[in-house]
Amino acid sequence: MSARHGCGGEPDRGWGESSLLVLPRIALGGVLLLAGWMKLFHNAWNGADPAWDFANTIKAYDILPAGGNADALVVFAAYAVPWSELLLGLALVLGVWSRAAGWLSAVMLAAFTIINISVVARGMDLTCSCFGEIEWPCSGGISWCHVGRNAALMLVAGLIAWRGGGRVALGWLLGDRSSGAGRQGWADEE
């Protein structure tokens, strides 16, 4: 690894760290892409309506106002959240705006984790709908397994938010140095 310094004075660990960041970044991006796709498009051409399923799941969480006109917020969330996942997943897989995608993913996953804890604590028997019909590695109703899974993904997102997406990324190729490995947060960015 090189000993060069980033523009903020922190050591730029360069290609060595970049190569280590590729796997978690792409893995998290893939998970988010899958989650978004399953919530919006899975089997849609066969008449399925996964967004409706997800909207009902959000409503069942009983965390947003619902009923009557308030259902519009639930329905909007049922579309906006999966689209966020798709955009974040795409950004992470490609390595574009990696640090921003990492921050936002971490915040979103933290929210999911808190919601899951809330569901478990309230003793509710609800399905997650996190990945549509896919239930790996957690199956059945929302449990501590789901909490743990989301927390683990949140840590990965936090890693990317902290360290950036590395140099093995489209953003780096395009000249974006704000998300490179070794940069330390907001202060390094222009």
Partner 1 sequence: MTTLIRILAIVGAASLLGAGHLLTRSTAIVLRVDMQPVPADAVTDLPGEPALAQPEPLEPIEPVEDAGGDAPPAADPTAAGEGNTERAAPAISTGVRKIGLAEAATLYNEGVAFIDARTEREFAAGRIYGAYWMPAQRVFTEAGQNDLDFVDPSLPVVVYCTGGECDASENTIARIRAAGYDWPDIRIMQPGYDDWLAAGLPVETGSPGEGDQP
Binding site for partner 1 (CB under 8 A): 40, 43, 46-53, 55-57, 59-60, 66, 71, 74-76, 78-84, 86-88, 91, 97, 99-101, 103-104, 125-126, 133, 178, 186, 189-190
C-beta of 2 vs 96, nearer to partner 1: 96
Q: What are phi and psi of 47, to 5 degrees?
A: 95, -5
Question: How far is residue 2's CA from residue 67's CA, in Å, rounded to a whole number?
Answer: 58
Pick 1 or 162: Cβ nearer partner 1? 162
- Minimum gap (Å) between residue 87 Cβ and partner 1: 5
**Residue with smaller CB distance to partner 1, 2 or 118:** 118
As measured in angstroms, the least distance from the Cβ of 166 to partner 1 is 15
Q: Report in angstroms how near the CB of residue 79 gets to partner 1 at its nearest.
A: 4
27: nearest Cα among 156, 168, 179, 164: 156
As measured in angstroms, the least distance from the Cβ of 3 to partner 1 is 25
Report in angstroms how near the CB of residue 92 gets to partner 1 at its nearest. 11
> Token digits for 145?
């397994």
Cα–Cα distance for residue pair 82/155, rounded to 1 Å: 20
We find the least distance from the C-beta atom of residue 45 to partner 1, in angstroms, to be 10
Check if the beta carbon of residue 188 is closer than 8 Å to that of residue 176.
Answer: no
> Toward partner 1, which CB reaches closer, 2 or 173?
173
User: Judged by CB, which is closer to partner 1: 50, or 166?
Assistant: 50
* 12 close to 134: Cβ distance less than 8 angstroms: no
Given the complex with partner 1, which of 24 and 164 has the nearer CB atom? 164
What's the CA gap between 38 and 36, in Å, rounded? Answer: 6
Residue 170 has a CB neighbour count (10 Å cut-off) of 15
Question: How far is residue 153 CA from its own chain's centroid?
Answer: 7
